[in-house]
Chain A
Amino acid sequence: MIKLENVTKTFAGDIHAVSDLSLEIGEGEFVAFVGPSGCGKTTALRMIAGLETVTSGRITVANRDVTQADPGERDIAMVFQNYALYPHMTVRNNLAFGMKINRFARSEIAQRVDEVAKLIGLEEYLDRRPSQLSGGQRQRVAMGRALIRNPNAFLMDEPLSNLDAKLRVHMRVEVRRLQQEVGTTTVYVTHDQVEAMTMGDRIAVMRGGVLQQYGRPDDIYDRPANAFVAGFMGAPPMNLFRAGLTQDGTTPVLVVGEQTMKFDGRLSTDFNIANGAGKQVIVGLRPEDIVVDAAAGTLKDLRVSLVESLGAERIAHVGFGDAIKFDRTETGSNDIPDDMMLQIRLSRSTPVPELGSNVAIQFDPANLHLFDVESGKSLRRD
Chain B
Amino acid sequence: MADIAELPSKRARRIGGTIAVRLAIIVLCVLWITPTLGLFVSSFRTEFAIQTSGWWTTLLDPFNRAQWTLDNYARVITGEGMGQAFVNTIAVTVPAVVFPILVAAYAAYAFSWIEFRFREFFFALFIMMIVVPLQLAFIPLLRAWTALDLSNSLIAIWITHAGFAMPIALLILRNFIAALPAELIEAAKMENANHFQIFWRVVFPLALPAIAAFGVFHFLWIWNDFLVALVFLGGNPDVQVVTMNLQKLLAARGSDWHLLAAAAFVTMIVPVSVFLALQRYFVRGMLAGAVKG
Contacts and interface: CB of A to CB of B under 8 A. Distances in A.
Interface stretch (B57-65, B157-165, B201-209): B201-209
Interface in A71-106: 71-73, 75-78, 80-82, 84, 86-88, 97-98, 101-102
Given A97-B201, A101-B197, A88 B189 contact: no
Nearest to A78: B190
A162 B40 CA distance: 58
A75 B189 CA distance: 11
A49 interface: yes
A53 to B, nearest CB: 10
A50 B187 CA distance: 11
Nearest to B115: A53
B222 to A, nearest CB: 28
Interface in B138-191: 181, 183-184, 186-191
Contact of A101 (B184, B186, B193, B206): B193
Contacts of A72: 189-194
A87 B191 CA distance: 16
A5 to B, nearest CB: 23
Which of B184, B187, B192 gathers most chain A CB within 10 Å? B187
Interface residues of B, number: 17
Nearest to A101: B193
Binding site secondary structure of chain A: loop
A167 interface: no
A82 B180 CA distance: 13
A66 B30 CA distance: 69
Nearest to A155: B190
Interface string A57-73: 00000000000001111
A355 interface: no
Contact of B191 (A51, A82, A98): A98
Contacts of A75: 192
B205 to A, nearest CB: 5
A87 B186 contact: no
Contact of B181 (A51, A78, A82, A149): A82
B191 A101 contact: yes
Nearest to B191: A98
A379 B197 CA distance: 56
Nearest to A80: B183
A80 B191 contact: no
A106 to B, nearest CB: 16
A51 B188 CA distance: 11
Closest 6 CB pairs of A and B: A72-B192, A98-B191, A84-B183, A84-B187, A88-B205, A71-B189
Interface of A: 49-51, 70-73, 75-78, 80-82, 84, 86-88, 97-98, 101-102, 145, 149
12 contacts: A51-B189, A72-B190, A72-B194, A77-B190, A81-B183, A82-B181, A84-B186, A84-B187, A86-B201, A86-B202, A97-B188, A97-B201
Given A84-B181, A87-B206, 15 more contacts: A49-B190, A50-B189, A72-B190, A72-B192, A78-B187, A84-B184, A84-B186, A84-B187, A86-B187, A86-B201, A88-B206, A101-B193, A101-B197, A145-B187, A149-B191
